[in-house]
Amino acid sequence: MEQGNYSVGLDIGTTKIVAIIGKENDYGKIEILGTGRSKSLGVHRGVVNNITQTISSIQQAVEQAELNSGLKIGSVVVGIAGQHIRSLQHSDYITRPNSEEVIDDDDLEKLCNQVYKLVMLPGEEIIHVLPQEYKVDGQSEIKEPKGMYGGRLEANFHVVVGQVSSIKNIGRCIKSAGLDLGNITLEPLASAEAVLSQEEKEAGVALIDIGGGTTDLAIFKDGIIRHTSVIPFGGNVITEDIKEGCSIIEKQAELLKIKFGSAWPGENKDNEIVSIPGLRGREPKEITLKNLSKIIHARVVEIVEQVYVEIKNYGHEDQKKKLIAGIVLTGGGSQLKHLKQLVEYITGMDTRIGYPNEHLAGDSDEEIASPLYATAVGLLMNALETTNKQTMQEEDAVPEEERVLVGQEHGGSPANKERKSIFDKWSEKLKDFLDNAE
């Protein structure tokens, strides 16, 4: 069954692996063609720590998505997270040989490529180079310098760095699962794509994606990404605490958290009790909901405070950098009862829960519009964008004679040529590396 141009996002999480196949409909919205999810084994705090198990979990999710849609999955866009991710600010400039010509994609690419040459700590590699504002000949706060005249082009960059070994392990898992690695994207960026509106990014917003193993943060202001960070705690540590605090097994702790958990201890009466069956003939255990929410509350406060420290590090308290749109919570952990109120109480910032339904077609499955799938939907959007760019590149590859004619009309440069992004080059480098590694 041929569905035209479809793409695949693969979210390799700590608790679940999700594959989503989708395409863009005529209205620019995303139509979901198939999904698959499997329990993630072999990923700890966002980092692969058991290759074999991760491969089989990926295959399970992919097979389910293929069955579900009747399509074959080839290339996927994958997210990366984990505590080894760090981000830094860097500024760089190039001097253009001919200031009589306008700035074009080549110049921007040259500037970005220069940043990729930054010397990192051993074992680290640059994942993203995201230009923030440009300066042309000392004129600052330029968002889009293309088409302007100028001799010196400089920019501030948000550079995201990760561990080479972690990136390679993800590549290895994808390859061994019989798939092609189309792109690697930072997970908080993918989630932000899926749940934030352009107005929020302009006004200033912090996206907090609470997953199973990590809590990801992405901060936007004036429509530009300003700060990213990955905090190595998520919903799983809450489950661990319940497990140990109530002496029950993990499965029961997880169910307790989902069904009765609340981040606000004042909510529960003293006499509300849940009875949990004992193991193999032992007496059932009785747990008061008040105690349960105290355990959850303590851990959630810790996670939220860590995130708030990062928001303050970005400079939220500075008047110019104030995040007017406040906080958006997403990811599976955001479904905890009364979490929104607790976050507002700790940070004093407006908070809402982010659902990835903004870019989805109207008839999409209810389930996909849940915060659980924010990262996967964001990765799918990234995959579709990459596919669109490639299609444009292919369309641009018109025969030479035609191109010369077009070029002359436009003052000598080939018409709207989409350049191969640095990222594609980087992925190719990584692919070569993985091919040689075997």
**Is the separation of the CB atoms in 169 and 199 below 8 Å?**
no
pLDDT at 310: 93
- Cα torsion angle, 217, 218, 221, 226, sign: positive
CATH number for the domain harbouring residue 243: 3.30.420.40
Q: Are strands 124-136 and 139-142 parallel, antiparallel or unpaired?
A: antiparallel
Give 195-202's long-range contacts (Cβ < 8 A, gap of 24+). Answer: 195/328, 195/330, 195/354, 195/355, 195/356, 195/358, 195/371, 195/374, 195/378, 196/220, 196/328, 196/354, 197/358, 198/223, 199/325, 200/325, 200/328
Examine residue 279 and state whether it is found in any structural domain, yes or no: yes
- Dist CA 181 CA 178 (whole Å): 10
pLDDT at 298: 95
Examine residue 313 and state whether it is found in any structural domain, yes or no: no
Examine residue 200 and state whether it is found in any structural domain, yes or no: no
Give Cβ neighbours of residue 277 (< 8 Å, ≥ 6 apart). 284
pLDDT at 367: 85
List Cα–Cα distances, 305 to 99, 104, 205, 246, in angstroms.
49, 44, 17, 25
pLDDT at 359: 86
pLDDT at 271: 81
- Encoded tokens for 259: 């069904």
- Dist CA 377 CA 369 (whole Å): 9
pLDDT at 4: 67
pLDDT at 306: 95
pLDDT at 403: 42
Examine residue 268 and state whether it is found in any structural domain, yes or no: yes
pLDDT at 412: 39
**∠ CA 169-170-175, rounded to 5°:** 95
pLDDT at 113: 93
Examine residue 349 and state whether it is found in any structural domain, yes or no: no
Which residues span the domain enclosing 244?
235-297
Looking at residue 1, what DSSP letter applies?
-
- Dist CA 166 CA 49 (whole Å): 9
Examine residue 283 and state whether it is found in any structural domain, yes or no: yes
pLDDT at 18: 95
Examine residue 243 and state whether it is found in any structural domain, yes or no: yes
pLDDT at 399: 53
- Dist CA 260 CA 76 (whole Å): 37
pTM: 0.86
Domain count, the chain: 1
Q: What is the pLDDT along the chain (438 residues), one digit of tens a residue?
A: 445 688 999 999 999 999 999 999 888 889 999 999 999 999 999 899 999 999 999 999 999 999 999 999 999 999 999 889 999 999 999 999 988 899 999 999 999 999 999 988 999 999 999 999 999 999 988 999 999 999 999 999 999 999 999 999 999 999 999 999 988 999 999 999 999 999 999 999 999 999 999 999 999 999 999 999 999 999 999 999 999 999 999 999 999 999 999 999 887 677 889 998 888 888 999 999 999 999 999 999 999 999 999 999 998 888 999 999 999 999 999 999 999 999 999 999 999 999 998 888 887 788 889 999 999 999 999 999 888 877 877 777 655 444 443 343 343 333 343 444 555 666 666 666 666 655
Examine residue 280 and state whether it is found in any structural domain, yes or no: yes
- Encoded tokens for 69: 């849609």
